[in-house]
Amino acid sequence: MKILDFLDPENIKTDLKATDKKGVLEELTLPVAAITKIGHKELVRVLMEREHLGSTGIGNGIGIPHGKLKGLPSLILGVGLSRKGVDFDAIDKKPTHIFFLLLTPDNSTDLHLKLLARISKVLKEPVFREKLRAAGDRQEVIDLIKNIDNDF
């Protein structure tokens, strides 16, 4: 399973402006709403409900907000980078800079878990995180993910 198999370049935001959790989720879901034709507020609602169960800020500057949606035609993946960092209620209490957004149809638990595991695995690589955090544009993000996808 490759991350790039699911990542639409339109869902890559390399300069998030939000200063809080809800703002990050709103920014990350804007292109998703346009692509899926699912209401933007509904996407944010699902993600915020998941955040209330426990933060998806996993530490080391990483957040993996995710959720399941009834009626979603296929898995959606997005990437966002915050230059300043955002308080995302991370377990290490440090700002979050790298976000991987994952939305899956409500009936695809297996794929959801496999992709979450894949993302978590590549993000454990400190050099990858550092390069990703410094990426200047979409193509650089795609190239970095492509390289690490091939390494694992």
How many angstroms separate the CA atoms of 123 and 117, rounded? 10
Distances in whole angstroms, Cα of residue 145 to Cα of each of 53, 65, 76, 85? 29, 18, 16, 21
How many angstroms separate the CA atoms of 32 and 8, rounded? 9
Residues forming the active site = 66
CB atoms within 10 A of CB 76: 23
Rg (CA), the chain: 14
How many angstroms separate the CA atoms of 2 and 92, rounded? 28
